[in-house]
Amino acid sequence: MENKQITVTSPLLPDLDEFNALLKEIWASKWITNNGSFHKQLEKELAEYLKVPYISLFTNGTLPLITALQALRITGEVITTPYSFVATTHSLWWNGIKPVFVDVDPSNCGLDPSKIEAAITPKTTAIMPVHCYGKPCDTKAIQEIADKYGLKVIYDAAHAFGVEVDGESILNAGDMSTLSFHATKVYNTIEGGALVCHDEKTKQRIDYLKNFGFAGETTVVAPGINSKMDEMRAAYGILNLRQVDAAIAARQKVANCYREALRDVDGITFFDDMPGVRHNYSYFPIFIDAERFGKTRDELYFAMKEAGVLGRRYFYPLIGEFPTYRGLPSATRENLPNAYKLADSVLCLPMHHALSEEDINRVLKISVNETSLYNRSSRIWKGSL
């Protein structure tokens, strides 16, 4: 169908018959939540797959952020990025913590370590960076600052499922890392998430906190919340884990097609792979220089939308532009020049495991040929998947 919409993402779904077989097991056991056997199995398999020592499953990707701050008893002020999904900053707000925005480094869209120290005050207790688009932050530089000032580091790694640097999981950086398994992410459990930590005692505290603070039948050790993953989604997650490598490989092919077609197009820039990094190709952001491209980002965005190609402007507006946060002294354009520039120029092209050659060519045709000042017909990708 000519006008079929191409969405920015599409969920990785397990085989329905295989899922049904696991559902039958759940029905037979009548154990549908509260640390059941599929929950335990998925935690074990994810720890192995992700190469992390301890992981706790959650019901979404926002509660692990909120819980990580609770588990580490973070208070006062936390340094974070304005260039992310709102949940990052919302988790601070839900803990009564003041967010302090620091500008990002355009080379990876993550917190710029060289700007962190100037934002530290006596009230600062932690840094909350984001591996934006799954691109690793400069974890070494961030850790050096954290160590120097005695700060905790909690990474929002919602985009960084399976990302490794020199064979080591990016999720092992800092004190904790959070993941989202939302339907829109590389790996999904419909809704879901996880919190990664490095020692058994911390995992124990996290597991108490995600279950109302219960440490036994009649003992409540902390004002915990309920954010447990149920057995149906754990079973779904076990099946999806088996096909996530194939999904990432399919995404890599899409990324390579886009790169081949868009390379050297005047006014469009994008990211190449970083040496030593296992990427997950979670997003394919392009950045538009309106003067050189001949159209603004929004002109391109709406032209694509008109043609049924639904790119998304992740992350526009910046978190600091929303009413809750715009009064913060750190939210200004003067303080965040790179973040504002990225937010004003970014467009994420459709990126998922199920894009066909025809889909890719439709995206490229509208994003390059019809909207550019230049005729790029020769640049339409004609390779094969």
- Cβ proximity to ligand PLP: between 336 and 364 the closer is 336
Position among 9, 56, 60, 372 found at the interface with ligand PLP (CB under 6 A): 60
Asked whether position 224 contacts ligand PLP by CB under 6 A, the answer is no
Asked whether position 282 contacts ligand PLP by CB under 6 A, the answer is no
Asked whether position 80 contacts ligand PLP by CB under 6 A, the answer is no
Task: Tell me how far, at minimum, the Cβ of 19 lies from ligand PLP, in Å.
Answer: 20
Position among 88, 202, 227, 335 found at the interface with ligand PLP (CB under 6 A): 88
- Cβ proximity to ligand PLP: between 196 and 265 the closer is 196
Asked whether position 159 contacts ligand PLP by CB under 6 A, the answer is yes
The Cα 190–Cα 232 span in angstroms is: 10
- Cβ proximity to ligand PLP: between 101 and 293 the closer is 101
Task: Tell me how far, at minimum, the Cβ of 200 lies from ligand PLP, in Å.
Answer: 25
Position among 38, 54, 83, 85 found at the interface with ligand PLP (CB under 6 A): 85
Residue nearest to ligand PLP (CB): 61
Total site size for ligand PLP, rule CB under 6 A? 14
Q: Give the residue among 197, 356, 347 at the shortest CA–CA distance from 268.
A: 347
Strands 152-156 and 176-180: parallel
- Cβ proximity to ligand PLP: between 172 and 188 the closer is 188
- Cβ proximity to ligand PLP: between 61 and 267 the closer is 61
CA torsion through residues 201, 203, 207, 209, sign = positive
Asked whether position 61 contacts ligand PLP by CB under 6 A, the answer is yes
- Cβ proximity to ligand PLP: between 119 and 229 the closer is 229
**Pattern of binders to ligand PLP over 105-134, x per CB under 6 A?**
-------------------------x----
Position among 66, 127, 145, 158 found at the interface with ligand PLP (CB under 6 A): 158
The Cα 241–Cα 188 span in angstroms is: 9
- Cβ proximity to ligand PLP: between 58 and 340 the closer is 58
Count helices and strands (H / E) in the chain.
11, 15
The stretch near ligand PLP (CB under 6 A) out of 38-46, 58-66, 135-143, 210-218 is 58-66
Q: Give the residue among 363, 356, 131, 132 at the shortest CA–CA distance from 253.
A: 356
The Cα 299–Cα 220 span in angstroms is: 55
Q: Hey, which residues does 154 pair with through a beta bridge?
A: 176
Are 144 and 173 within 8 A, CB to CB?
no
The Cα 236–Cα 192 span in angstroms is: 11
Task: Tell me how far, at minimum, the Cβ of 261 lies from ligand PLP, in Å.
Answer: 26
Position among 39, 135, 152, 182 found at the interface with ligand PLP (CB under 6 A): 182
The stretch near ligand PLP (CB under 6 A) out of 81-89, 114-122, 331-339, 348-356 is 81-89
The Cα 228–Cα 161 span in angstroms is: 20
- Cβ proximity to ligand PLP: between 61 and 99 the closer is 61
Position among 9, 70, 84, 124 found at the interface with ligand PLP (CB under 6 A): 84
- Amino acid of residue 21: A
- Amino acid of residue 321: E
Task: Tell me how far, at minimum, the Cβ of 358 lies from ligand PLP, in Å.
Answer: 28
Q: Hey, which residues does 26 pair with through a beta bridge?
A: none
Asked whether position 352 contacts ligand PLP by CB under 6 A, the answer is no
The Cα 70–Cα 92 span in angstroms is: 10
266: its two tokens: 């005047």
Asked whether position 188 contacts ligand PLP by CB under 6 A, the answer is no
CA angle, 93 as apex, 92 and 94 as ends, to 5°? 90
- The length of the chain in residues reads 385
Give the chain's radius of gyration (CA, Å): 21
Grouping H, G, I as helix, E, B as strand and the rest as coil, residue 221 is: coil
Q: Give the residue among 191, 196, 190, 186 at the shortest CA–CA distance from 156.
A: 196
265: its two tokens: 């197009």
DSSP summary character for residue 271: P
Contacting residues toward ligand PLP, per CB under 6 A? 60-62, 84-85, 87-88, 130, 156, 158-159, 180, 182, 193
